Amino acid sequence: MDWKGRDVISIRDFSREDIEVVLSTAERLEREMKEKGQLEYARGKILATLFFEPSTRTRLSFESAMHRLGGSVIGFAEASTSSVKKGESLRDTIKTVEQYADVIVIRHPKEGAARLAAEVAEVPVINAGDGSNQHPTQTLLDLYTIKKEFGRIDGLKIGLLGDLKYGRTVHSLAEALSHYDVELYLISPSLLRMPRHIVEELKEKGMKVIETTKLEEVIGELDVLYVTRIQKERFPDEQEYLKVRGSYQVNLDTLRNVKETLRIMHPLPRVDEIHPEVDRTKYAIYFKQVFNGVPVRMALLGLVLGVI
C-alpha cells in the first residue's frame, strides 16, 4: 500500500496490515520524539484543520502532532467564523483550502462529509469525525494504546462497556478488533445494546462475541475494559435517555476482583461512568490514551504526506 497521498476516512478502509503500519510508525515516532524532542519530517509542510463543528481536544491533538513533526498549521475551529456561514458549499471550501495546505483534517457534523471532501481534494484528507459515522484516528489511537500496554492485541479479552448503541467509537473499535484474535465482551444496559447488524458482522468475521448486561459477572475475565459515556445528544428520544442515565459506573468496588493487569480505557470526556477515585489506580490509562493520540496522528500525517 502506497501511503503517500492516501486519505484516512473510515476504519473500514484499513486492513490489519495498514493498521500495523500506523502502529509501528507511531511507536518509532514516539521514541524519536522522546530522544530529540522536536522532529523535522514535515518541515515546510502545512496542515489545514477544518473544524465545521467544535472539538477542541481532537483539533489540539492534530495541531500538536503537526508541530511535533516540524510542520505548521492553519485552519478554523468553528464554521460560524468562516465563509461557510455565508452558505459556501463544502466542495468549494475544500477546493479553496487545498490551495493553501498539503494535508487537510476535517471535522464535520454531516455523515459522509469527509468522504466527499476526500473526493474533491487533490491533497490527502484525514477524517476527524463526520457526524455519528467515523472517527478513524480515535480507533487507531485506541489500538495503539492496547498494543503499547500489552505488547500485542491478539489473545486479549476486551470488554466494551456503556452506550454500545449510539457510541461511534465502540462501533469502529469493535470493527477494527475483528482483524485480531480477541474475545469481545459487549457490556451494556439492554436498551443500549450493540446494533444487531454490527454483532452479526463481527460473528461472521469469526470473532468470539459475548453480550451481557452484568459487568460484575465478566470483569474478572477482562484484560481491557473500554468505558464509554452516554451521549445525551445522540438519543432521538429524551425518555429513552432518562431510562438509562447513570445506569453503570466503574468505581473501586467494581474493581475488587479484577486481573492485576486489567487496563481501563475511555475516549473522554467522561461524565460519571468512571468514578474519579479510579484515576489513582494502576488500572486507569485513559490519560495515557489521550497522549497516544499525538504519535498516532504524527504517524498518519507523516505517512500521507510521504515524509517518513
Partner 1 sequence: MPELKVSAIKEGTVIDHIPAGKGLKVIEILKLEKLSNGGAVLLAMNVPSKKLGRKDIVKVEGRFLSEEEVNKIALVAPTATVNIIKEYRVVEKFKVEVPEVIEGILRCGNPNCITNHEYVTTKFYVISRNPLKVRCHYCERTMEEEEILANL
Does residue number 109 form part of the binding site for partner 1 (CB under 8 A)?
Answer: yes
Strand partners, 227: 161
CB of 294 to partner 1, least distance (A): 27
Instruction: Give Cβ neighbours of residue 119 (< 8 Å, ≥ 6 apart).
Output: none
Query: Is residue 107 flagged as an active site residue?
Result: yes
Binding of partner 1 at residue 91 (CB under 8 A)?
yes
Among 68, 107, 108, 263, the one annotated catalytic: 107
284 Rama class: left (phi>0) / alpha (psi -120 to 50) / beta: beta
**Is there binding between residue 196 and partner 1 (CB under 8 A)?**
no
Does position 84 interact with partner 1 (CB under 8 A)? The reply is no
- State the nearest-atom distance from the C-beta of 11 to partner 1, in Å: 10
Strands of the sheet with 72-76, listed across from one edge? 72-76, 46-51, 103-108, 125-130
* Residue 127: closest CA among 111, 141, 144: 111
Residue of 80, 83, 89, 281 that binds partner 1 (CB under 8 A)? 89
* Among the listed residues 39, 47, 69, 113, the single contact to partner 1 using CB under 8 A: 113
Three-class secondary structure of residue 6 per DSSP: coil
The interface region with partner 1, picked from 59-67, 89-97, 239-247, 260-268 by CB under 8 A, is 89-97
What is the per-residue binding string for partner 1 in 251-290, x denoting contact by CB under 8 A?
Answer: ----------------------------------------
Question: How far apart, in whole angstroms, are the C-alpha atoms of residue 76 and residue 270?
Answer: 26
Residue 36 as a binder of partner 1 (CB under 8 A): the answer is: no
Short-list 254, 308, 307, 303, CA closest to 283: 254
Among the listed residues 34, 36, 86, 256, the single catalytic one is: 86
Dist. CA 179–CA 139, nearest whole Å:
13
Residue 45 vs 107, nearer CB to partner 1: 107
Rounded to an integer, what distance in angstroms lies between the CA atom of residue 75 and that of residue 14?
27
Question: For residues 4-23, which are near partner 1 according to CB under 8 A?
Answer: 10, 12
Which run of H or of E encompasses 145?
A: helix 136-150
Q: Which parts of this chain interact with partner 1 (CB under 8 A)? A: 10, 12, 89-91, 108-113, 115-116, 130-134, 197
Give the residue numbers annotated as catalytic, written as ranges.
57-58, 86, 107, 135
